[in-house]
Amino acid sequence: MDIRSVFGANVRRYRVAAGLSQEAVAVKMGVDRAYVSGMERGQQNVTLLTMWHLAKALKVKPADLLDETVEDDES
């Protein structure tokens, strides 16, 4: 699986687990909701700084967003 897909699946999983909407995450990060959607769909090639802001918004470690061992629920 492409790392952007892994990242996106993890973002979605942690966002849903936190009970946050894409809009709420976007507000916490200072970005547009469509950007969060693009990350979740694996269409954004995010920077390290963006990953750090996203991890803070989701209250997880940045490394958690790259965890390839988590199975994608949509498979």
CATH code for the domain in which residue 38 is found: 1.10.260.40
Residue 40 covered by a domain: yes
pLDDT at res. 65? 97
pLDDT at res. 54? 98
Domains in the chain: how many in total?
1
Parent domain of 23:
3-58
Chain mean pLDDT for the chain:
93
Residue 11 covered by a domain: yes
Residue 63 covered by a domain: no
Residue 9 covered by a domain: yes
Report how far residue 1's alpha carbon sits from residue 6's, in angstroms, rounded to the nearest whole number: 7
pLDDT at res. 1? 75
Q: What are the angstrom distances between the C-alpha of 20 and each of 8, 26, 28, 46, 56?
A: 15, 10, 10, 20, 13
Residue 23 covered by a domain: yes
Residue 72 covered by a domain: no
Q: Which of 26-35, 40-49, 62-71 has the lowest mean pLDDT?
A: 62-71
